[in-house]
Amino acid sequence: MDYFRIGGGKRLRVTVEVNGAKNAALPIMAATLLGEGRSELIDVPDLSDIAVFGQLIEQLGCPVTRPDKHRMIIDATRVDRPFGDYEIVRKMRASVCILGPLLARCRRVEVSMPGGCSIGDRPVDIHLRGLRALGAQIHLKGGYIVAEAPKGLVGAEIFLGGPFGSTVLGTANVMMAATLAKGRTIIESAACEPEIADLARCLNQMGAKISGVGSPHLVIEGVDHLGPVRHTVIPDRIEAGTFMAAAVITGGRLTIRNCCLEHLMAVVDKLREIGATVEADGDGCTVALVGNLRPADITTLPYPGFPTDLQAQFMALLALAEGNSLIIEKIFPDRFMHVAELNRMAANLRKEGAAVLVAGVPRLIAAPVMASDLRASAALVMAGMAAEGTTTVNRVYHIDRGYEKIEEKLNAVGARIARENPNAKMALKEGDMT
Ligand code: EPU
């Protein structure tokens, strides 16, 4: 397992480029399964989660090729085996979004039921409720969701809200299934995340008839057939937001290219409250810290609220603010594995239920820390860049799931991060002895 050694105290400067959005690319890869033929996706990030999803699609009988690092061809001319294997789904929960498209296209699908993960229980009951409303018969067998609609799906009015508001992948699943249903489907309380709007635009290019794109009220007129597509994935707002926070925590000034500020208004608002300047600049923005870091209260919410996927990174930032901040998690109430690790670096964080009281400290002190999930690892890398001394972040395979070559990108703008592997070191030592 690789780990990072991070030398703290370097300001980030100049320009960094954001890749296409992982969380848009994954459901869009699933959407191509609805279109008979070869689809081409552009600006697909080169990440381990994308590779795993590609394997899943190949297991269905649809060849996946990558003509270059950021382009992908999916040949969904035929789907031989509508089956989502436990071995893949257990590695990546987003695999569940093959359920809707395969049910619509093949009328029968089996997908392993995803389990919980380090950020919470993460049920899929709302996905199943929505698909049942479209006429699917669904039961569980040996840990697999078996969904059938032998005569095809039928449009319906569906309320997709749950205890934590809308569901991103639940909306993706039901929207994709409804594109081929007979008649009209109305989804109320649909997720409004830009990734869902991008998916809807991609489906419309394939021949679907979805209106209300980007709103909580989607109207889908079912069609008989969808074709292949050539689609460019939107920029990753979470990668962009992470770079913004990294610029500020190091007291630097960073220009972020391929960044859609419109998707980041809640984040920009918080950055300004904290003491940063954010200026639109070409196809992105320039972020800098002016003066000292000020505290701020943050509540994570569905889009356009503050994203849960930036909660950990902003906690690292506020750990260094002059005063107290309160962070409330309203999407994943248990998504706080980074709290204890940040406290090992001399942060002063106190968790109370689904909230964390952040008492700002003047400095963080380097320590060995353990990454627990994708965004927590980004927060630890940021803390390491701001800390005094050399921080070691273990289990960085988590970060490789969602950030393409993050250490290379950050090193190019002034960070000092070395990727190391304990086995490589051991091999070197053995070699030294002979
Ligand atoms: N929920 C239910 N029942 C369901 C579905 C969701 O109760 O059937 C609850 C969840 O437990 C959670 C809330 O609803 O409390 C919202 O979950 P959502 O379904 O929106 O999450 P998701 O679709 O599984 C996507 C992203 C996550 C991101 C969340 C929230 C992808 C591949 N994943 O997950 O991204 O945190 O939306 O914005 O798009 C990440 O990239 O690090 C990541 C975890």
Q: Which protein residue's CA is at the shortest distance from atom 11 of ligand 1?
A: 122
CB atoms within 10 A of CB 200: 25
Type of residue found at 329: E
* Range in 304-308, 342-346, 396-400 with the lowest mean pLDDT: 396-400
Asked if the model's pLDDT at residue 427 lies above 50, the reply is: no
- Alpha-carbon span 203 to 197, nearest angstrom: 10
For the question of residue 117 being annotated catalytic, the response is yes
Residue 130's φ and ψ, nearest 5 degrees, are -65, -40
Q: Residue written as tokens 């290019």? A: 205
Q: What mean pLDDT value characterizes the chain?
A: 95
E runs forming strands in 149-216: 157-159, 184-188, 209-211
Alpha helices in 8-84 (DSSP H): 22-31, 48-59
Exposure letters 394-433 (e unless 16+ CB within 10 A, then b): bbbebbbbbbbebbebbeebbbbbebeeeeeeeeeeeeee
Banded pLDDT at 118 (limits 50, 70, 90): confident
Query: Please, how many CA atoms are within 13 Å of residue 402, restricted to the half-sphere of its CB?
Result: 21
Cα-to-centroid distance, 143 and ligand 1 (Å): 20
For 361, the token pair is 């400290």
Query: Which pLDDT belongs to residue 304?
Result: 98
Q: How many helices (H) and strands (E) does the chain have?
A: 15, 24
Q: For residue 217, give the nearest of 193, 189, 197 by alpha carbon.
A: 189
Asked if the model's pLDDT at residue 134 lies above 50, the reply is: yes
Ligand 1 in reach of 37 Cβ (< 6 A): no
Ligand 1 in reach of 127 Cβ (< 6 A): yes
CB atoms within 10 A of CB 38: 17
Distance of CA 224 to the CA centre of its chain: 31
Contacting residues for 327 by C-beta, under 8 A, at least 6 apart? 297, 298, 299, 300, 311, 314, 315, 318, 355, 356, 358
E runs forming strands in 94-170: 108-112, 137-141, 144-148, 157-159
Identify which of 29, 111, 167, 196 to mutate to test ligand 1's pocket (most ligand atoms within 8 A of the CB).
Answer: 167
Q: What angle do CA 390, 392, 395 make, to 5 degrees?
A: 165
How close are the terminal C-alpha atoms of the chain, in Å?
25
Q: Which protein residue's CA is at the shortest distance from atom 2 of ligand 1?
A: 123
Cα-to-centroid distance, 168 and ligand 1 (Å): 6
- pLDDT > 90: what percent of the chain? 93
Residue 296's φ and ψ, nearest 5 degrees, are -160, 150
Cα-to-centroid distance, 429 and ligand 1 (Å): 44
Q: Which protein residue's CA is at the shortest distance from atom 33 of ligand 1?
A: 23
Q: Say what angle helices 374-386 and 237-249 make with each other, to 10 degrees.
A: 20
Identify which of 23, 313, 372 to mutate to test ligand 1's pocket (most ligand atoms within 8 A of the CB).
Answer: 23
Identify which of 119, 122, 299, 374 to mutate to test ligand 1's pocket (most ligand atoms within 8 A of the CB).
Answer: 122
pTM above 0.85, yes or no: yes
pLDDT tens, residue by residue, 139-198: 999 999 999 999 999 999 999 999 999 999 999 999 999 999 999 999 999 999 999 999
For 29, the token pair is 């890869």
CB atoms within 10 A of CB 237: 26
Ligand 1 in reach of 375 Cβ (< 6 A): yes
Q: Say what angle helices 168-178 and 99-106 make with each other, to 10 degrees.
A: 10
Banded pLDDT at 434 (limits 50, 70, 90): very low
Mean pLDDT across the stretch 386-406? 95
Which one of 117, 202, 260, 285 is the catalytic residue? 117
pLDDT tens, residue by residue, 197-251: 999 999 999 999 999 999 999 999 999 999 999 999 999 999 999 999 999 999 9
Contact 175, 202 (CB under 8 A): no
Identify which of 138, 164, 267 to mutate to test ligand 1's pocket (most ligand atoms within 8 A of the CB).
Answer: 164
Ligand 1 in reach of 88 Cβ (< 6 A): no
Residue 153's φ and ψ, nearest 5 degrees, are -85, 155
- Alpha-carbon span 162 to 123, nearest angstrom: 11
Banded pLDDT at 117 (limits 50, 70, 90): confident
The single-letter DSSP state of residue 252 is -
Cα-to-centroid distance, 113 and ligand 1 (Å): 15
The single-letter DSSP state of residue 264 is G
CB atoms within 10 A of CB 94: 23
Mean pLDDT across the stretch 63-84? 97
DSSP for 66-129?
EEETTEEEEE-S-----EE-HHHHTT-GGGGGGHHHHHHHHSEEEEEPP--BTTB----HHHHH
Contacting residues for 224 by C-beta, under 8 A, at least 6 apart? 180
- Alpha-carbon span 168 to 189, nearest angstrom: 11
Q: For residue 3, give the nearest of 364, 312, 337, 368 by alpha carbon.
A: 368
Cα-to-centroid distance, 127 and ligand 1 (Å): 11
Q: Which atom of ligand 1 is nearest to the CA of 162?
A: 7
For 313, the token pair is 């990174």
Contact 277, 290 (CB under 8 A): yes
Q: Which atom of ligand 1 is nearest to the CA of 402?
A: 41
Ligand 1 in reach of 118 Cβ (< 6 A): no
Beta bridge partners of 41: 72, 231
Mean pLDDT across the stretch 17-28? 98
